[in-house]
Amino acid sequence: MPGKFILDDLSAVFSTADFATAALVDGFNTVNGIFENQSEEIPTQDERVVMVRSAKFICPEAAPIRPGSTLEIEGTTYEAKTPDYDGTGVVTWYLKRIVD
């Protein structure tokens, strides 16, 4: 199967030396993943556009993250809200920033 090597060893994808960022999960587990915190334009009904931050954390499906888990990433704390499993052993977690 083409690309099977990716499914066998995700450590290369989630290496902090290359692309990944470490997240502290629930205060004691460290999980490496790809953190995205981009702005997105959302159109409104009155033809205006609102800019919204969309935080995501992409990591191995086996990571100890569940809905409601806290993730401290780059000094900011987020709550894991919704997972999006892609069927390859990788999950995208949609995050909500926790304001102190």
What is the pLDDT at residue 8? 58
Give how many domains the chain has, as a whole number.
1
Q: What is the tens place of the pLDDT at every residue in 10-22?
A: 776 787 777 899 9
Beta strand 21-25 pairing with 29-43: antiparallel
What is the pLDDT at residue 65? 98
Question: What CATH number has the domain bearing residue 23?
Answer: 2.40.10
Q: What is the tens place of the pLDDT at every residue in 32-86?
A: 999 999 877 888 888 888 888 889 999 999 999 999 999 999 999 999 999 999 9
This prediction has a pTM of 0.80
Q: Can you give the residue range of the structural domain that contains 29? A: 4-97
